[in-house]
Amino acid sequence: MDRLTWLGHSTVLIEAGGARLLTDPLLRHRVVHLRRHAAVPTLPERLDAVLVSHLHHDHLHAPSLRALGAEAPLIVPQGAGSSRTVRSLRREVRELAPGDSIAVAGVRVHAVPAVHDGRRHPFGAEGPAVGFVVQGARRVYFAGDTELFDGMRTIADGGLDAALLPVWGWGPRLGPGHMDPDEAARAAQLLQPALAIPIHWGTYLPLGAGRRLGHLLDDPGRAFAEHVARRAPEVRVSVLAPGQRLEL
């Protein structure tokens, strides 16, 4: 049975064709200056691979990865395997550049482009960012972090059963390399998936900002659904709560 479970932020358990893949694991109550406003999920069992889109702390989170154990290989953008953080994890690492793919437990994982500065630190060495398409009987696109870009049209070649699209972040403003709800709806318009699910929202807020920014735990997902209804009414939207599961 193919299904998707959103565990909050950009963490999604993709179960497809018998494979179990986890994206950008962030599974702690506290992450630097951010506090989780949803239950911390139970650690998924038996993973076949962990997909990491880029090196930012909220996507490559070392404590969460260590908690998962080292059995499942880490699939990262080309060049990211040499980062100090990735090397410190002491686990099998496979690097993919956009256009590359790898077989994992009966499905194929394709790396696709993303427009995002994926450096671990603002003044560090250049860090690549990618998205992933998981292809079995169905095709699922995980965007990671990215701006809207015309090349998204080619990601949809062959059709998409589901697109996991970032619609916000964790603070009151978005910097370059991110999409707001309307931009994510425009991405859905380009991609034309059968189903779109908003991610990268509604989970973490800065410490002490719950009252001031609490609307960000609800508004981005709802706004995304409204914008998709206007821009791409043929695309079905499911706005999940952290921990909610959806069968494909």
Dmax of the chain from CA atoms? 47
For the packed helices 181-191 and 219-231, what is the interaxial angle rounded to 10 degrees? 40
Distance CA 17, CA 181 (A): 30
**Six token digits for residue 208:** 């002490």
Predicted local distance difference test score (pLDDT) of residue 125:
46
Q: Are 8 and 36 in contact (CB under 8 A)?
A: yes
CA dihedral 12, 3, 46, 101 (to 10 degrees): -70
CA distances (Å), origin 221, targets 53, 63, 108: 21, 27, 29
In the predicted structure, residue 12 carries a pLDDT above the cut 50: yes
Q: Distance between CA atoms of 178 and 56, rounded to whole angstroms?
A: 13
Q: Which range (111-125, 137-151, 231-245) has the least confidence?
A: 111-125
Burial pattern 92-103, b for ≥16 Cβ within 10 A else e, equals ebebbebebeee
Per the structure block, which two tokens stand in for 60? Answer: 């490559």
DSSP-derived 3-state class of residue 24: coil
Single pTM value for the model: 0.96
pLDDT at site 210: 85
User: In this predicted structure, what is the pLDDT of residue 119?
Assistant: 57
User: Using 50, 70 and 90 to split pLDDT, how confident is the model at 1?
Assistant: confident
Mean pLDDT of the chain: 94
Contact status, residue 99 vs residue 131, Cβ threshold 8 Å: no
User: Looking at this protein, which amino acid is placed at residue 155?
Assistant: I
Q: Is 225's pLDDT higher than 60? A: yes
- What number does CATH give the domain 3-247? 3.60.15.10
Lowest mean pLDDT among 103-117, 125-139, 174-188, 216-230: 125-139
- Which residue, chain included where needed, has tokens 């709800």? 181
Residue where the block lists tokens 């260590």:
66
The whole-angstrom separation of Cα 85 and Cα 91 is: 11
The pLDDT value given to residue 175: 85
pLDDT in tens, 88-142: 999 999 999 999 999 999 999 999 999 997 555 554 445 689 999 999 999 999 9
Q: For the segment 22-81, what is each residue's pLDDT rounded down to a tens digit?
A: 999 999 999 989 999 999 999 998 999 999 999 988 999 999 999 999 899 999 999 998
